[in-house]
Amino acid sequence: MPRYMIERHFPAGLHIPVNDEGARACLGVVDANARDGVTWVHSYVSDDKTKTFCVYDGPSPEAIRRAAGSNNLPVERITEVRVLDPYFYR
Protein backbone atom coordinates (compact mmCIF):
# COMPACT_ATOMS: atom_id res chain seq x y z
CA MET A 1 0.00 0.00 0.00
CA PRO A 2 1.42 3.43 -0.85
CA ARG A 3 2.45 5.76 1.98
CA TYR A 4 1.79 9.49 1.92
CA MET A 5 2.84 12.59 3.85
CA ILE A 6 -0.12 14.94 4.22
CA GLU A 7 0.57 18.56 5.11
CA ARG A 8 -2.26 20.43 6.80
CA HIS A 9 -2.60 24.04 7.88
CA PHE A 10 -4.72 25.09 10.85
CA PRO A 11 -4.68 28.93 11.01
CA ALA A 12 -6.19 29.01 14.52
CA GLY A 13 -4.11 26.04 15.67
CA LEU A 14 -4.98 22.40 16.16
CA HIS A 15 -6.45 21.84 19.60
CA ILE A 16 -7.22 18.24 20.56
CA PRO A 17 -7.98 17.92 24.26
CA VAL A 18 -5.99 15.32 26.16
CA ASN A 19 -9.03 13.58 27.58
CA ASP A 20 -11.84 11.24 26.53
CA GLU A 21 -13.22 13.83 24.11
CA GLY A 22 -9.86 14.04 22.31
CA ALA A 23 -9.59 10.25 22.20
CA ARG A 24 -13.08 10.00 20.68
CA ALA A 25 -12.18 12.64 18.08
CA CYS A 26 -9.05 10.74 17.01
CA LEU A 27 -10.84 7.39 16.90
CA GLY A 28 -13.59 9.01 14.83
CA VAL A 29 -10.96 10.02 12.27
CA VAL A 30 -9.63 6.44 12.22
CA ASP A 31 -13.13 5.03 11.68
CA ALA A 32 -14.02 7.48 8.90
CA ASN A 33 -10.66 6.86 7.16
CA ALA A 34 -11.34 3.12 7.09
CA ARG A 35 -14.34 3.65 4.81
CA ASP A 36 -11.89 4.82 2.12
CA GLY A 37 -9.24 2.19 2.87
CA VAL A 38 -7.00 4.81 4.50
CA THR A 39 -4.91 4.29 7.64
CA TRP A 40 -3.56 7.13 9.80
CA VAL A 41 -0.07 6.00 10.90
CA HIS A 42 1.00 9.05 12.95
CA SER A 43 1.39 12.81 12.79
CA TYR A 44 3.89 15.52 13.64
CA VAL A 45 2.61 18.88 14.92
CA SER A 46 4.52 22.18 14.73
CA ASP A 47 5.26 23.98 18.01
CA ASP A 48 2.66 26.64 17.26
CA LYS A 49 0.11 23.92 16.34
CA THR A 50 -0.68 25.55 12.98
CA LYS A 51 0.88 22.83 10.78
CA THR A 52 0.67 19.07 10.86
CA PHE A 53 2.61 16.52 8.85
CA CYS A 54 0.64 13.28 8.84
CA VAL A 55 1.79 9.88 7.63
CA TYR A 56 -1.00 7.87 6.03
CA ASP A 57 -1.26 4.60 4.13
CA GLY A 58 -3.90 4.51 1.43
CA PRO A 59 -4.72 3.31 -2.05
CA SER A 60 -4.42 6.74 -3.72
CA PRO A 61 -4.22 10.51 -3.15
CA GLU A 62 -7.92 10.69 -4.07
CA ALA A 63 -8.78 8.27 -1.24
CA ILE A 64 -6.72 10.41 1.16
CA ARG A 65 -8.63 13.53 0.04
CA ARG A 66 -12.02 11.77 0.42
CA ALA A 67 -11.11 10.64 3.92
CA ALA A 68 -9.96 14.16 4.83
CA GLY A 69 -13.24 15.56 3.52
CA SER A 70 -15.22 13.06 5.60
CA ASN A 71 -13.30 14.26 8.65
CA ASN A 72 -13.52 17.98 7.79
CA LEU A 73 -9.72 18.15 7.73
CA PRO A 74 -7.77 20.48 5.46
CA VAL A 75 -5.25 19.13 2.94
CA GLU A 76 -2.45 21.47 1.92
CA ARG A 77 -0.32 18.91 0.08
CA ILE A 78 -0.13 15.13 -0.45
CA THR A 79 3.25 13.61 -1.26
CA GLU A 80 3.88 9.92 -1.83
CA VAL A 81 6.90 8.93 0.29
CA ARG A 82 9.23 6.01 0.90
CA VAL A 83 11.35 5.24 3.96
CA LEU A 84 15.00 6.26 3.87
CA ASP A 85 16.77 4.50 6.72
CA PRO A 86 20.19 5.99 7.62
CA TYR A 87 21.41 2.54 8.70
CA PHE A 88 20.59 0.89 5.37
CA TYR A 89 24.23 1.14 4.22
CA ARG A 90 25.79 -0.51 7.29
Give the number of other Cβ atoms within 10 Å of residue 33's Cβ: 23
Q: How many Å apart are CA 52 and CA 58, to the nearest integer? A: 18
pLDDT computed for residue 85 by the predictor:
86
Q: Show the domains of the chain with their CATH numbers.
A: 3-81 (3.30.70.3090)
pLDDT computed for residue 12 by the predictor:
96
Q: Is 71 exposed, middle or buried (0-12, 13-18, 19+ CB in 10 A)?
A: middle
Average pLDDT of adjacent 10-residue blocks, the chain of 90 residues: 97 95 96 98 97 98 98 98 86
| 3-state secondary structure at position 21 | helix
**pTM for the structure as a whole:** 0.89
